Structures are given as C-alpha cells and as structure tokens.
Amino acid sequence: MAQKNNLFENPEHLTEWLCSTGYLFPRTEIELNRFDKLFFNIEIKDSTVSLDRILNNEVRKFPLSNIFKQENEQDVIDAFKMVARKGLEDLPDHIFNKMKKNQDDGNESSPEETDQ
C-alpha cells in the first residue's frame, strides 16, 4: 500500500500558510512577518487608496446607478409586440431554416389546432 503524502496533517497549518501567503489576512505577527518576507519587493504605485482620506471621511463616493430600473409595464408590452411583428426581419437564414425544420420534423397537428 502506498504511503499517503500529506503536506498539511493539521488543517490549522494549512490556514496558517494561507494567511502567510496572502490568500487570507494574516492573524498573527508570525504570519505577517512571513508575508512581508515573501512580498518585500512589491511596490504599489499610483494607488488611489489613502488611509488619511478614509480616516478623515474624504472618500469619494461612487454614483449609484439604478441597475434595477422599473420600466413602465406598457413599454415592456410594446417591446414584446415589436419583436413579435418584426422578429424575422433580421433573423439569419440558418436560424430561420433551423426553426422551419424543427416545425416540419414530424410535428403533426395537435387536437387543439385542428378544426374537428
């Protein structure tokens, strides 16, 4: 039987190394020192994050756009009517042929469609 190679026998060791490598926030001085040793040569240039601005409440607020804009119900109905009227005008031929083939492939009329 092959020996199981388990690098992190204790799950806490895995968490410790995730914190030390920056995947999670460092929790202890040891983890922070490891992180600093790994990333000592990384410089952040032209950063827009300013601790002074955050602490002095001078942070620029982003304008909120109304993504979930409520549309007038009649506008939505009119848009569907337009698609129903003009839907096939700009439809590519290969899609139109596929739709036509799907309708012609052995689809017999259902009892609701016939005048019996």
| Whether the predicted pLDDT of 55 surpasses 60 | yes
Contacts of 39 (CB under 8 A, 6+ apart): 22
pLDDT for 57-96, tens place per residue? 877 666 655 555 666 777 767 766 765 666 666 656 766 6
Contacts 24+ apart (CB under 8 A), 88-95: none
| Whether the predicted pLDDT of 7 surpasses 60 | yes
Least confident of 49-58, 87-96, 97-106: 87-96
